[in-house]
């Protein structure tokens, strides 16, 4: 019996060694390979494929289409493609093998945007360096649950506290940072690289240490897909109560939770709100509806006008309450948008309204469209202006 046990143990050990060797063999392909000049080579082993294409968010797009580039077979089933020099940034990509979407098996780094999962990589020597984890002091990121009586549920938020928060007795200002349609409380962390940007800018003494609260703007959700009692369901883009005033109505619940549970400045001078797209819409209307709540407002590629038929007290007398917010005063009202953004005209019309009302605001116009590449830049430009 002892010999049998010893024999089985030896077999298991041999199997484990061979298993580790097999894993080692699968890691020989390097993809993506970011070169010193910021060109990038992608590789995929697909011996039986007839056609392999690559798409990435650096490839010029037409409308919402995802254009592709052709990869080249070396004759042994290894397909490859090398880009031109890419600006420093964070990029996502995926393969299409004979028309079928495929993730890069040699790259374990992924992001989810609504229901689309893509591989990612970063090129350096520019903006991308802000998005990398550097050798600097790091803040903490926690997921907290708060009671939301207005939505009849407990809900989850993501909270960044700056380096040294745990050992300090200081009270910190707060930025409430809101996502776009289809996003959730994970979006600004994963896609926006918020903690990396903050850690790096605080270390450079360009940003005042602050708490950042990332909410879930979909008021029918307890939390991000897969993180609630609903289980592992497929995320969808537009949900009930999207941009109908419910988010704005119940937003004071978030502020009450933060100011009860964190050492923060509990007045408008220590509060900022900003968001992208739908989050910009929420930031615009929350700050207008509660004119004494925020001294700093950031609108990144914002939606502006409520949909027809939406009935909420939040959207009553928009022009009058906006004029009241302007008269009431604020420290910063910041707007950023790309020249090819589909919301460009709406923002242009909104700026005309602000001009007519005599509002003071900072306007930044960039290349590109409705993209995370722009929104990460807007965040890195907005943060240094806060709480000075």
Q: What is the pLDDT of residues 66-122, one digit of tens each?
A: 799 999 999 999 999 999 999 999 999 999 999 999 999 999 999 999 999 999 999
Chain position carrying tokens 């063999």: 25
- pLDDT tens digits, one per residue of 341-378: 999 999 999 999 999 999 999 999 999 999 999 999 99
Smallest Cα–Cα separation from 329: which of 356, 359, 357, 299? Answer: 359
Indicate the pLDDT class of residue 10, thresholds 50, 70 and 90: very low
Residue 23 has pLDDT above 90, yes or no: no
Give percent above pLDDT 70 in the chain.
92
Give percent above pLDDT 90 in the chain.
89
The predicted pLDDT at position 17 comes to 29
For residues 29-50, give the mean pLDDT. Answer: 98
The predicted pLDDT at position 66 comes to 76
Sheet holding 72-73, edge to edge: 33-34, 40-45, 78-82, 72-73
First-to-last alpha carbon distance for the chain, in angstroms, is: 76
Q: What does the domain layout of the chain look like in residue ranges? A: 30-124, 130-385
- DSSP 8-state assignment for residue 229: T
For residues 249-260, give the mean pLDDT. Answer: 98
The half-sphere exposure of 157 on its side-chain side, counting CA atoms within 13 A, is: 23
What is the CA angle 284-286-292, rounded to 5? 110
The predicted pLDDT at position 9 comes to 39
For residues 3-19, give the mean pLDDT. Answer: 38
CATH number of 130-385: 3.40.50.1820
CA distances from 360 to 59, 333, 335, 356, 382 (A): 37, 7, 11, 11, 16
The predicted pLDDT at position 61 comes to 76
Q: How many Å is the Cα radius of gyration of the chain?
A: 24
- pLDDT tens digits, one per residue of 270-310: 999 999 999 999 999 999 999 999 999 999 999 999 988 89
Rounded CA separation 344/259 (Å): 36
- 326's enclosing H/E stretch is helix 318-328
3-state secondary structure of 268: helix
Task: Tell me phi and psi for residue 298, to 5 degrees.
Answer: -125, 125
The predicted pLDDT at position 63 comes to 65
The predicted pLDDT at position 308 comes to 86
- DSSP 8-state assignment for residue 23: H
Residue 64 has pLDDT above 50, yes or no: yes
Alpha-helical runs (H) found in 213-267: 246-261
Dmax over CA atoms of the chain, in Å, equals 92
Q: Across the chain, what does the average pLDDT equal? A: 93
- pLDDT tens digits, one per residue of 148-202: 999 999 999 999 999 999 999 999 999 999 999 999 999 999 999 999 999 999 9
Rounded CA separation 320/310 (Å): 18
Rounded CA separation 346/336 (Å): 12
Q: What CATH class does 30-124 carry?
A: mainly beta
- DSSP 8-state assignment for residue 126: S
Encoding tokens for residue 229?
Answer: 């009692």
């Amino acid at each position: 019996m002892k010999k049998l046990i010893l024999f089985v143990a030896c077999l298991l050990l041999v199997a484990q060694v061979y298993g580790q060797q097999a894993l080692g063999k699968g890691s020989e392909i390097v993809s993506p390979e970011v070169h010193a000049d910021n060109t990038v080579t992608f590789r995929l082993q697909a011996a039986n494929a007839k056609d392999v294409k690559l798409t990435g968010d650096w490839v010029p797009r037409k409308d919402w289409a995802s254009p592709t580039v052709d990869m080249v077979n070396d004759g042994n089933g290894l397909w490859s493609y090398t880009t031109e020099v890419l600006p420093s940034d964070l990029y996502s990509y995926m393969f299409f093998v004979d028309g079928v979407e495929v993730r890069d098996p040699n790259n374990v780094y992924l992001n989810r945007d609504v229901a689309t999962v893509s591989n990612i990589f970063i090129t350096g020597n520019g903006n991308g360096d802000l998005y990398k984890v550097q050798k600097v002091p790091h803040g903490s990121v926690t997921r907290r649950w708060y009671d939301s009586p207005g939505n009849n549920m407990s809900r989850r938020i993501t909270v960044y506290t700056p380096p040294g928060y745990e050992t300090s007795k200081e009270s910190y200002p707060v930025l409430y940072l809101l996502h776009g349609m289809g996003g959730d409380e994970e979006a600004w962390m994963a896609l926006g690289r918020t903690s990396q940007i903050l850690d790096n800018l605080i270390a450079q003494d360009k940003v005042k240490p602050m708490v950042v609260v990332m909410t879930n703007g979909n008021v029918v959700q307890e939390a991000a897909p897969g993180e609630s009692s609903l289980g592992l369901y497929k995320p969808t883009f537009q949900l009930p109560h999207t941009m109908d005033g419910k988010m704005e109505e119940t937003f004071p619940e978030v502020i009450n939770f933060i100011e009860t549970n964190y050492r923060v400045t509990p007045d408008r001078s220590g509060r900022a709100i900003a968001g992208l797209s739908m989050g910009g819409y929420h930031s615009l209307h929350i700050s207008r509806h509660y004119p004494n709540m925020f001294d700093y407002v950031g609108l990144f590629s914002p939606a502006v006008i409520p949909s027809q038929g939406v009935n909420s007290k939040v959207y009553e007398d928009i022009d009058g309450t906006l004029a009241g917010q302007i008269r009431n005063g604020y420290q910063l009202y910041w707007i950023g948008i790309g020249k090819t953004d589909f919301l460009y005209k709406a923002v242009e019309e909104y700026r005309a309204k602000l001009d007519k009302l005599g509002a003071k605001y900072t306007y930044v116009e960039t290349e590109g469209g409705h993209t995370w590449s722009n929104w990460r830049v807007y965040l890195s430009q907005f943060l240094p202006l806060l709480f000075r």
